[in-house]
């Protein structure tokens, strides 16, 4: 089980995306009486802009600034011209771009995965461990990171010994702490006003997504399925990150409901049939790796689920789902539309 989880985490670091369902009658979104209508069926893609949309154009950082670091010491930042952003989910790198400082990012993790960042050197090729020598060669003026990278404490000690400011943030990823995470990152970079605007935009998108969730007597069961070819098929469970999004969207996480205790569990036909999802959520590349919808239906157990029988699969581009940062609102809104609208 531990090896499965480690494999899943390393692969998830390259970016996760969701997948949903397609057509039928419109849903009753408002009112106090639960609707009988089931969610739409069929394949569907949830889409947001490929690159993070900046809330400001080249904001002027107010520096120096002194901020708290989660490991204890306060950190003074006097220069953000050369930023390195490292975590397992791509949160910090995506936030740097969303704050309008993308041109200052000189090093990234593998999960900061969108077209505008592709030219920036990757420092976590395995998804979890940063290459110290390569990092130092970039001459960073600030490093943003957190304990989602297992070796971050030792890394921070060595970087600080080289007089490089390191700000460690909260490694938890969920909708509830998204605003705090955005504000903290903006404060470390000296762009508090841009951070406040980013929080406002993100919270507005989350509120709009919430408004699209219908009041249903029977909530849809949604399973997050991670695939890299038929050789690696993993079913999401409690704490996967995807489970939190599914629950926010008014659904039931099928893996959790089926009794999974781990965030990621190797998929078996029996386990998937027991989970009985109405909808499958997948990353676009993962779906393509098994041969699209038709190939997915040949995976043992898939065709025997309600989702398989109705071809209800929502896919979303890799690198967008579990950043839980500046694109969380846009992701939630796109998924709400894909899940509930025909």
Residue 319: the pLDDT is 80
Domain of 11: which CATH number? 3.40.50.1980
**pLDDT tens digits for 156-212?**
999 999 999 999 999 988 888 999 999 999 999 999 999 999 999 999 999 999 999
CB 235 within 8 A of CB 271: yes
The stretch 206-229 carries a mean pLDDT of 94
| 117 in any annotated domain | yes
| 243 in any annotated domain | yes
Q: Do 35 and 78 share a domain, yes or no? A: no
Contacts of 218 (CB under 8 A, 6+ apart): 38
Give the integer Cα–Cα distance in Å for 231 and 137. 37
Q: Do 127 and 38 share a domain, yes or no? A: no
Q: In which band, very low, low, confident or very high, does the pLDDT at 19 lie, cut at 50, 70 and 90? A: very low
Domain span including residue 324: 2-49+215-340
Token pair of 307 as six digits: 């989702």
Q: In which band, very low, low, confident or very high, does the pLDDT at 11 lie, cut at 50, 70 and 90? A: very low
**pLDDT tens digits for 123-168?**
999 888 998 999 999 999 999 999 999 999 999 999 999 999 999 9
CB 14 within 8 A of CB 289: no
For the cut 60, the answer to whether the pLDDT of residue 219 exceeds it is yes
Helices (H), 127-174: 132-137, 152-161
| 202 in any annotated domain | no
Which of 337, 312, 318, 324 has the alpha carbon at shortest distance from 21? 312
Q: Do 161 and 132 share a domain, yes or no? A: yes
pLDDT-above-90 percentage for the chain: 78
| 334 in any annotated domain | yes
For 55, counting Cβ atoms within 10 Å of its Cβ (0-12 exposed, 13-18 middle, 19+ buried), the class is buried
Q: Do 223 and 311 share a domain, yes or no? A: yes
**Mean pLDDT, the chain, whole residue set:** 89
Q: Which of these three, 190, 225, 251, is where a domain ends? A: 190
Residue 93: the pLDDT is 97
- The strand pair at 313-316 and 44-45 is best described as parallel
* More confident: 88 or 100: 100
| 206 in any annotated domain | no
The stretch 86-90 carries a mean pLDDT of 92
The three-state (H, E, C) secondary structure of 10-21, written as one string: HHHCCCCCCCEC
| 141 in any annotated domain | yes
| 203 in any annotated domain | no
Q: What's the structural domain count of the chain?
A: 2
For the cut 80, the answer to whether the pLDDT of residue 1 exceeds it is no
Residue 173: the pLDDT is 85
Token pair of 141 as six digits: 């003026």
Q: Do 87 and 178 share a domain, yes or no? A: yes
Q: Do 311 and 281 share a domain, yes or no? A: yes
The residues that bridge with 223 in the sheet, in sequence order, are 280
Q: Do 265 and 173 share a domain, yes or no? A: no
**Distances in whole angstroms, Cα of residue 191 to Cα of each of 9, 67, 97, 198:** 32, 12, 12, 11
Q: Do 45 and 75 share a domain, yes or no? A: no
Q: Do 103 and 35 share a domain, yes or no? A: no
Give the integer Cα–Cα distance in Å for 117 and 80. 17
Q: Do 29 and 71 share a domain, yes or no? A: no
| 303 in any annotated domain | yes
Q: Do 252 and 329 share a domain, yes or no? A: yes
Phi/psi of residue 107, nearest 5 degrees:
-150, 145
Q: Do 163 and 276 share a domain, yes or no? A: no
The stretch 264-291 carries a mean pLDDT of 94
């Amino acid at each position: 089980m531990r090896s499965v989880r480690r494999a899943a985490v390393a692969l998830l670091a390259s970016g996760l995306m969701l997948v949903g369902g397609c057509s039928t009658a419109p849903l009753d979104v408002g009112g106090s009486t639960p609707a009988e209508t089931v969610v739409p069926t069929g394949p569907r893609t949830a889409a947001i802009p490929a690159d993070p949309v900046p809330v400001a154009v080249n904001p002027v950082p107010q520096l120096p600034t002194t901020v708290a670091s989660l490991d204890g010491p306060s950190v003074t930042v006097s220069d953000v011209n050369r930023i390195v952003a490292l975590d397992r989910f791509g949160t910090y790198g995506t936030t740097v771009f969303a704050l309008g400082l993308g041109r200052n990012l000189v090093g990234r993790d593998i999960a900061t995965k969108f077209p505008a960042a592709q030219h920036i050197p990757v420092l976590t090729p395995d998804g979890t461990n940063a290459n110290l020598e390569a990092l130092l060669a970039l001459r960073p003026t600030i490093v943003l990171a957190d304990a989602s990278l297992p070796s971050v404490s030792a890394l921070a000690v060595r970087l600080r010994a080289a007089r490089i400011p390191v700000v460690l943030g909260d490694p938890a990823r969920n909708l509830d702490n998204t605003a705090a995470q955005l504000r903290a990152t903006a404060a470390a970079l000296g762009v508090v006003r841009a951070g406040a605007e980013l929080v406002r935009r993100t919270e507005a998108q989350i509120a709009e997504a919430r408004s699209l969730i219908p009041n249903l007597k029977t909530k849809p069961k949604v399973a997050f399925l991670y695939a890299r070819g038929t050789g690696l098929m993993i079913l999401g469970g409690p704490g996967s990150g995807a489970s939190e999004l599914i629950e926010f969207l008014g659904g039931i996480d099928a893996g959790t409901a089926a009794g999974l205790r781990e965030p990621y569990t190797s998929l078996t036909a029996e386990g998937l049939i027991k989970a009985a999802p109405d909808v499958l959520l997948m990353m676009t590349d993962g779906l393509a790796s098994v041969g699209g919808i038709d190939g997915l239906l040949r995976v043992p157990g898939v065709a025997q689920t309600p989702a398989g029988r109705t071809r209800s699969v929502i896919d979303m581009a890799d690198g967008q789902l579990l950043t839980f940062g500046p694109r969380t609102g846009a992701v939630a809104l796109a998924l709400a539309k894909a899940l509930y609208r025909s």
